Amino acid sequence: MDEVVGVHGVVKRFGTFTALAGVSLTIGHNQFFTLLGPSGCGKTTLLRCIAGFEDVSEGTILLEGRDIARLAPNLRPVNTVFQHYALFPHMTVAQNVAFGLKMQGMAPGPRLKRAGEMLELVHLSAFADRFPSQLSGGQQQRVALARALAPQPKVLLLDEPLSALDLKLRQAMRVELKQLQEGTGITFIFVTHDQEEALTMSDRIAVMSAGEVRQIGSAREIYEAPVNRFVAGFIGETNLLPVRVGSIAGGMARVLLPGGHPLTCPAADAVPAGSPHVSIRPERMTLVPPGTGDLDATVDRLIYLGTDLQVQARLADGTALHLRLQNSARATPPEAGSTIGIVIEDGAARLLAD
Amino acid sequence: MAGPAASGSAGTGYRSITGPLLLPTWVMIGIFLLLPVLLMTVYSFLTREFRGGVDWTFSLAAYDRFLLNRGLFGDEPPVLEWTYITIFWRSIWQAGLATLICLIVGFPTAWFIATRPAHSRALWLFMITVPYWVNLLIRTVSLRFLLRDQGPLNDALIGAGLLDSPLQIINTNLAVQLGLFYSYLPFMVLPVYAAVERYNFALSEAAADLYASRWTTLREIVLPVVRPGIIAGCILVFVPSLGAFLAPDLLGGAKTYMIGSLIEEQFKGSQGNWPFGAAVSVILMTLVLIVLMIYARAQGRAGAH
Ligand SMILES: Nc1ncnc2c1ncn2[C@@H]1O[C@H](COP(=O)(O)OP(=O)(O)OP(=O)(O)O)[C@@H](O)[C@H]1O
Ligand SMILES: [Mg+2]
């Protein structure tokens, strides 16, 4: 079994509030695993349960097959990069990085040597004797990383480690973090609410909302084959159109679009309860003359986005939708107030569970 | 994290107080601090006037009396006088012990308050200060009443069958320690509370995450980080304990005689000796100053971080 971390039915309650409502996921060796979700969905809580800072109310957390859910944090072979770094202010950078090794009982010689190696890894060798308050935010972030990696944990937990950095640095650190993960072969569990960050770095992503995991998959699976409205809406931009479902067979559904046009599209396995919707990415639709496409709509507004042009339109029943057109000299953009026809690319629409 | 920014020069325009605004401060410091200290130092070098007061002629008699013993009639060869050094030593020892006890009790208390929900902290702090609404003299006298041989404490202990005869508490070191502890505990709790309240508990989590046990976390992370508050608390308890005279006077006996009482006596009635009292004060002040300088240096080293 190639599983490092197994979270099984973890429930976490704070008083009467349920922060995690039965979370299950498995994480393999050498994976960059991301927990993605909106603010307050329980990402930090799940990470803190794995690290041991919160007791789980129910469920088990396995680390290489051993249940660690009731172990004290200092007995768990996982390390954390804290959101605000939590560097020890009274210790130098080198002492910070060596702290975990010292606690593990490594002798001063080897541990300072290893701290030096870790600092080299994060390009901070020149700062070994400074105190954390004498470093920039980005440098502190690297120290936190080196400190957590030094004891060679089985799993590294990172809680939005890039959120305090500016955009440029954040983008550079994404690449570096990914390289570091691949170089060390340590499994990373990375928390973020930034979908771009999640899509660019992760091997696998768990999308969470309101204390539940809504979908787990690769970046491509989650973006191209969302299984429910929440995931479709949260990752990237999408249009959700209400439809009537005819039949579902072999993963394909026959539906009636608003306006009555039929469409065959891939579907999640179960017949969606409640009001079914299809999700269509704005860049997967093209314009045709009115009456000749899958949908007819009235243009509300055009938004110029540089390389792209966004068309905000409205169906006859009032459903809003938007399209993204490549901004090319050949195509004449539609005018506001005009009626347009829309063709949905093959396989672009997906029928979603609620 | 705000370290470098806070010590930068960009904000000086907002931080410095200048000119007339400082005048009241300087007047207060001048009249109520510098002038008395100067007067006392001068007095310590004057000649004793019987029935109190001083005669304005220069004399080293006060310091001579403190340090040297020339026999009952002052005509023997001088040897080192141990009486007052012993009193000093006892005072330092008592004050140090009181500080230690205040720290042992005050630190967990401060920790407890600082970790309460924000809205109830004010109430806890308020409760710590409630006893201070009563005058120190009255509190000390009450303590004496409580502790004496036929007092409520001994009555209760005998009544409960725990003792046959009263336990001698009054006039012992224990009673003095209780008095000092009771008098100065808040001076420990408040600065330690201020430091613990600012303590970032994520640091403790980080330490636990890096395999430190609870005790190691306390020793290696918590105590060093809140050290300025602990040192401030220790100074605020140690300094007044060193010069205390109410607790030793009212709760202690001849064996617990402390500097505060020695000084007090020199300025009381016709038996007093003003220059000698002033000299003892100057020596005490010098001692305190040395303690404070050690503190300032420790702070300076901590501030370098
Ligand atoms: N100690 C606590 N006591 C009570 N409720 C808590 C506690 N910690 C977290 N919660 C609640 O649990 C929910 C999940 O919190 P959590 O910090 O895990 O969110 P998050 O997904 O990390 O959000 P963010 O992206 O804003 O960091 C929130 O609604 C929060 O209010
Ligand atoms: Mg969070």
Residue A331 pLDDT exceeds 60: yes
First to last CA, chain A: 33
C-beta A101 within 6 A of ligand 1? no
C-beta A42 within 6 A of ligand 1? yes
Residue B121 domain-assigned (yes or no): yes
Question: Torsion angle of alpha carbons B116, B117, B121, B122, nearest 10°?
Answer: -170
Q: Quote the pLDDT of residue A208.
A: 92
Q: How far apart are alpha carbons A319 and A292 in whole angstroms?
A: 19
What are the tens digits of pLDDT across the range A272-295? 667 788 888 888 888 888 888 888
| pLDDT confidence band for B3 (50 / 70 / 90) | very low
Mean pLDDT lowest among A51-60, A196-205, A274-283, B222-231 = A274-283
Phi, psi of A263 (to 5 degrees): -150, 140
CA dihedral for A122, A126, A129, A134, sign (positive or negative):
negative
Nearest CA to ligand 1 atom 10: A19
Q: Quote the pLDDT of residue A272.
A: 60
Q: How far apart are alpha carbons B103 and B111 in whole angstroms?
A: 12
The predicted model gives B187-208 an average pLDDT of 94
| CA distances to A59, B38, B244, B253, B283 from B277, in Å | 73, 14, 15, 21, 10
Nearest CA to ligand 1 atom 16: A42
Atom of ligand 1 nearest to the CA of A83: 27
| H/E stretch holding A14 | strand A3-14
Q: Does A72 touch chain B (CB under 8 A)?
A: yes
Q: Which among A74-83, A294-303, B266-275 has the top mean pLDDT?
A: A74-83
How deeply is B146 buried, as exposed, middle or buried, from its count of CB atoms within 10 A (0-12, 13-18, 19+)? middle
Which of B7, B205, B209, B219 is the best mutation test for A, with the most CBs of A within 10 A? B209
| pLDDT confidence band for B10 (50 / 70 / 90) | very low
| pLDDT confidence band for B13 (50 / 70 / 90) | low
What are the tens digits of pLDDT across the range B80-133? 888 899 999 999 999 999 999 999 999 999 999 999 998 999 999 899 888 888
- The amino acid sitting at A290 is P
Q: Quote the pLDDT of residue B7.
A: 41
Q: How far apart are alpha carbons A54 and A23 in whole angstroms?
A: 15
How many structural domains are present in chain B? Answer: 1
**B205 to chain A: closest CA residue:** A53
Q: Are B244 and B183 in contact (CB under 8 A)?
A: yes
What are the tens digits of pLDDT across the range A312-329? 888 888 888 888 888 776
Which residue reads 């891939």 in tokens? A266
What are the tens digits of pLDDT across the range B23-72? 888 899 999 999 999 999 999 999 988 777 888 899 998 899 888 888 88
Q: Are A37 and A208 in contact (CB under 8 A)?
A: yes
What are the tens digits of pLDDT across the range A68-93? 888 999 999 999 999 889 999 999 99
- The amino acid sitting at B63 is Y
Which of A14, A53, A74, A111 is the best mutation test for B, with the most CBs of B within 10 A? A74
What are the tens digits of pLDDT across the range A14-44? 999 999 998 999 998 889 999 999 988 999 9
Q: Quote the pLDDT of residue A329.
A: 65
As beta bridge partners, residue B198 has: none
How deeply is B150 buried, as exposed, middle or buried, from its count of CB atoms within 10 A (0-12, 13-18, 19+)? exposed
SS3 B21: helix
Q: How far apart are alpha carbons B282 and B37 in whole angstroms?
A: 8
Q: Are B275 and B59 in contact (CB under 8 A)?
A: yes
Higher-pLDDT residue of B182 and A353 is B182
Q: Enumerate long-range contacts of B204-207, CB under 8 Å, 24 or more apart.
A: B205/A51, B205/A53, B205/A73, B205/A80, B205/A82, B205/A86, B206/A80, B206/A82, B206/A86, B206/A87, B206/A88, B207/A88, B207/A99, B207/A103
Q: Quote the pLDDT of residue B252.
A: 84
Q: Quote the pLDDT of residue B213.
A: 92
Residue B8 domain-assigned (yes or no): no
Residue B56 domain-assigned (yes or no): no
Residue B296 domain-assigned (yes or no): no
The CA A159 to ligand 1 mean position distance, Å, reads: 12
Q: Residue ranges of the alpha helices (H) in B134-267? A: 136-147, 152-159, 173-198, 202-209, 214-217, 223-243, 246-251, 259-266
Q: Quote the pLDDT of residue B2.
A: 38
Residue B9 pLDDT exceeds 80: no
Strand order through the sheet with A239-242: A239-242, A277-280, A349-352
Residue B187 domain-assigned (yes or no): yes
C-beta A41 within 6 A of ligand 1? yes
C-beta A44 within 6 A of ligand 1? yes
Residues of the domain holding B130: 82-272
Mean predicted lDDT score pLDDT of chain B: 86
Residue A334 pLDDT exceeds 90: no
Residue A1 pLDDT exceeds 60: no
Percent of chain A with pLDDT over 90: 34
Residue B19 domain-assigned (yes or no): no
CB within 8 Å: B4 and A89? no
Tokens representing A125 are 């060798």
Of B3, B211, B224, the CB nearest to A103: B211
Tokens representing A19 are 């922060």
Q: Quote the pLDDT of residue B5.
A: 39
The predicted model gives A178-186 an average pLDDT of 88
CATH number for the domain spanning B248: value is 1.10.3720.10
Atom of ligand 1 nearest to the CA of A211: 14
First to last CA, chain B: 11
Q: Quote the pLDDT of residue B163.
A: 82
The predicted model gives A177-205 an average pLDDT of 89
Q: How far apart are alpha carbons A251 and A262 in whole angstroms?
A: 17
Nearest CA to ligand 1 atom 5: A14
The predicted model gives A228-236 an average pLDDT of 85
